[in-house]
Structure 1
Amino acid sequence: MSCIIFYEKPGCATNRLQKELLRSAGIELEVRNLLHEAWTPERLRPFFGALPVAEWFNPSAPAIKYGELDPAGLTAEQALALMVAHPLLIRRPLIRCGMRYMVDFDLIGINAWLPCHGRLPALAPDISGCRPAASASR
């Protein structure tokens, strides 16, 4: 049984580095394609916790990057509907460990979840956000 379900966009170089770091600490991952999940607002909402709605979005998604969508003015319901219809808008990775949920990659938060595992290095490189692989698109 895996400890962490890691929802990624295949080809994302940053997600690859994040998975490598988790695995190097002995954490077993179940990796899923964020773009092919059957998301519903109810399934997606727990990942965002108390974050402001604008922080739920992938700032590198073309619609946001090129100014076609401004997440700052959206309600939670509007944001979730857009993300269910267009999963590329979802900030990644999404991480689930039991009934704990996280969006983006937070080493401090993950370490707090995993007291029984090897701890992740406190001085790990900043591997949050999204950096494309040479041929990957966001």
Structure 2
Amino acid sequence: MSNIVIYHNPKCGTSRNTLALIRHAGLEPTVVEYLKTPLGKEELRALVAATGEPVRALLRAKESQATELGLNDPTVSDEALLDAMAAHPILMNRPVVVTPLGTALCRPSERVLELLPVGPLPPFTKEDGEVVNDSGARRA
């Protein structure tokens, strides 16, 4: 069992690049395809709390359902956002990665580097050809 978890959508390039970066580090995470295995409201609440970000940071605001459901209105409560993300998993922003060094929404994908308990890594080339150079900086 891996001590690294990625909440992953294989159709998302950022999510694929993040997973590839973790594997580039020689680590094999537990991959949770949250569209197939949706998170409940309390799981989402715990995941958001672990990131230290507001609930709205994990809302995929550019998803058409977010607009249709009126979730981009800043007056929508955190509880309503959590309810919507639990009911419609596509609304969860991705990828979210959990490691012993912390939890973060990894957008851009190279944000995962600060969470990896190894390093520095050799250069990595993303799907679009962009090269990621690892400074070796990690969360304490």
Q: TM-score, normalised by structure 2?
A: 0.69
Matches within 5 A, 1:1-138: 1-49=1-49, 50-64=52-66, 68-97=70-99, 100-105=102-107, 107=110, 110-115=112-117, 117-120=118-121, 124=132
Task: State whether residues 61 and 71 of structure 2, in contact with CA within 8 Å, keep that contact through their aligned partners in structure 1.
Answer: no
Task: State whether residues 25 and 118 of structure 1, in contact with CA within 8 Å, keep that contact through their aligned partners in structure 2.
Answer: yes
Hey, what's the Cα distance between the residues in 2 that align with 1:27 and 1:85?
A: 32
Q: TM-score, normalised by structure 1?
A: 0.70
Hey, what's the Cα distance between the residues in 2 that align with 1:40 and 1:99?
A: 24
Gaps of 5+ in 2: 124-130, 134-140
Instruction: Tell me the number of residue pairs that the alignment of Structure 1 and Structure 2 aligns.
Output: 123
**Identical aligned pairs, as a percentage?**
29
Task: State whether residues 22 and 116 of structure 2, in contact with CA within 8 Å, keep that contact through their aligned partners in structure 1.
Answer: no
| Structure having greater relative contact order (Cα 8 Å, sep ≥ 6) | 1
Q: Report the CA distance between 1:67 and its aligned residue.
A: 8.0
| Alignment CA distance shift 1:102-1:47 (3 Å) | farther
Q: Report the CA distance between 1:99 and its aligned residue.
A: 9.0
Task: State whether residues 55 and 81 of structure 2, in contact with CA within 8 Å, keep that contact through their aligned partners in structure 1.
Answer: yes
- RMSD between aligned residues: 2.9
